Chains A and B, each alone.
Chain A
Amino acid sequence: MLGQLFALLIFPAGLFVLVNGLVYHWISRKLVARLQNRVGPRWFQPVADIVKLLANEEIIPAGVNARLFAALPVVALAGALTAMLYLPIAGLPPLHNFPGDLIVTVYLLSLLTLCTGLAGAISKGRFSVIGATRVLTQLFSYEAPFLLALLGPAFVAGSWQIDEIMAHASGQWLMLTQPIGFIVALIGLMGKLEITPFDAPEAETEIVAGALTEYSGRGLALFLLGREVELVGGLTLIAAFYLGGLHNPLDYVVKTLLLLLGVAGIQTVMARLRIDQTVGLWWRYGALLALVQWLALLVSQGVFV
């Protein structure tokens, strides 16, 4: 019982992932800054932001279902944290597993996006509603290719259980044998995290902060934490599948940071896509590429089996 509480609140879910998320968030900001020839924030900036938000007054807009408004960020963060229980956080084997936990994890990770969309939709602000529409539109565009890209390694391993897939992927870097899947997965993660060029849902120059415009204080802090947790989860998942598995903490740090650098690099050289362009890109190219990868896998498997 105590052990489970520890696992839930401290390690691997809970506190550890939160700290991990904040640190990675800082690293990504710092990387982007350096790539743009700037200094970037100091190490405590993300922590300071969260602490400040937690201390801030929380404003609930008039005419909004207050309970739902307050519950959504909690659900979002809880969903993201729950997903961590099935992931090889810090290179250690996942705490829990069962056949098919990959699908559950991926959908737990999507809970945050759904909650963000819902939060925007109930907020009644004009920017929030437009933001919510965009969040959900984007969700439906990247989710299928992203899932297909993650199922590639699962297909090769013949299992839908994260640790088994990872065990199969160890020793061989699937990003070399399934490059398309890797790229689609990485870019899908950027869509999930609403990183440029997929930041139309929170495009500050158009709709202020998108779906979360009306959020302040704790609610906003929880959403932001949820996104940082998701960053960790997403990087872990891709590193475990495509970069030859995660075997120890060092392995974990090196591989996830490499991915983070890749994300920061892609982020800096791109302009924001309009939401219609995002959808077009994912369905026209993303989904197609993921299917091509699948076809290639089917053929190669067919040959080898």
Chain B
Amino acid sequence: MKIAMMLRDVLRSLFRKPVTELYPAQRQPTPVQLRGKLHWNPEKCTGCCLCIKDCPCDALELITIDKANKRFVMRYDVGRCTFCAQCVQNCRFNCLGMSSEDWELAATDKAPFTIYYGREEDVQSILDCFAETGDRAEE
């Protein structure tokens, strides 16, 4: 008959630093594989929309400004994203990638959750267009 078999662990812990991670005061390094915020590189995109087709949560939207000249703006909804990386898998031109640094995405309002990716002037023109029409509809 044995009792108190955890005694050894317990006594050892008394003289050892607690293992609790004091987040956010101390941050552990993240692995490179970590799937954080999605990033989009407009340079190589052909507008095939395969990423959008398979997105399980409708987090992506590609707004076409000029199809012939490959001018697109990607609207990305961080709040909807489930960080599954299927879009990254689907992209044949390696335009998409998930950051392992940028992962603390909580915010107190909805605005930071909508992100526009693209060339600066394209994004600006889209935002201006939305400001005029007063909604966020396509085109």
Contacts and interface: CB of A to CB of B under 8 A. Distances in A.
B13 A35 contact: yes
B21 to A, nearest CB: 9
B4 A37 contact: no
Interface in A242-282: 265, 268-270
B69 interface: no
Task: Determine chain A's interface SS by DSSP, over half rule.
Answer: loop
Contacts of A37: 9, 13, 16, 18-19
B10 interface: yes
In this complex, the member of A33, A40, A265, A269 whose beta carbon has the largest number of chain B beta carbons within 10 angstroms is A269
A34 B18 contact: yes
Given A37-B19, A39-B20, A39-B22, A269 B4 contact: yes
Contacts of A34: 13-14, 18
A268 B19 CA distance: 17
Question: What range describes how many residues of B lie at the interface?
Answer: 10 to 19
5 contacts: A35-B14, A36-B10, A37-B13, A39-B18, A269-B6
A38 interface: yes
A38 B20 contact: yes
A303 B14 CA distance: 44
B7 interface: yes
Contacts, number: 33
A33 to B, nearest CB: 7
A267 to B, nearest CB: 10
In this complex, the member of B6, B10, B19, B22 whose beta carbon has the largest number of chain A beta carbons within 10 angstroms is B10
Contacts of B19: 37-38
A39 B4 CA distance: 22
Interface residues of A, number: 12
A210 B16 CA distance: 35
Nearest to A40: B18
A163 to B, nearest CB: 35
Nearest to B20: A39
A34 B13 CA distance: 6
Interface string A38-78: 11100000000000000000000000000000000000000
Contacts of A35: 10-11, 13-14
Interface of A: 33-40, 265, 268-270
B11 to A, nearest CB: 8
Q: Which 5 A-B residue pairs are closest in the complex by CB-CB distance? A: A269-B4, A39-B20, A37-B13, A39-B18, A35-B10
B105 to A, nearest CB: 26
A38 B4 CA distance: 19
A18 to B, nearest CB: 28
Contacts of B11: 35
Contacts of A265: 7, 10
Contacts of B22: 39
Interface string B5-35: 1110111011010111010000000000000
Nearest to A270: B4
B18 A33 contact: yes
Contacts of A269: 3-7, 10
A37 B20 CA distance: 8
B50 to A, nearest CB: 47
Contacts of B5: 269
Given A39-B22, A265-B10, 13 more contacts: A33-B18, A34-B13, A34-B18, A36-B10, A37-B9, A37-B18, A38-B18, A39-B20, A40-B18, A268-B10, A269-B5, A269-B10, A270-B4
Nearest to B18: A39
Nearest to A31: B14
A269 B10 CA distance: 8
B109 to A, nearest CB: 28
Nearest to A271: B6
A160 to B, nearest CB: 35
A108 to B, nearest CB: 33
Contacts of A33: 18
B3 to A, nearest CB: 8
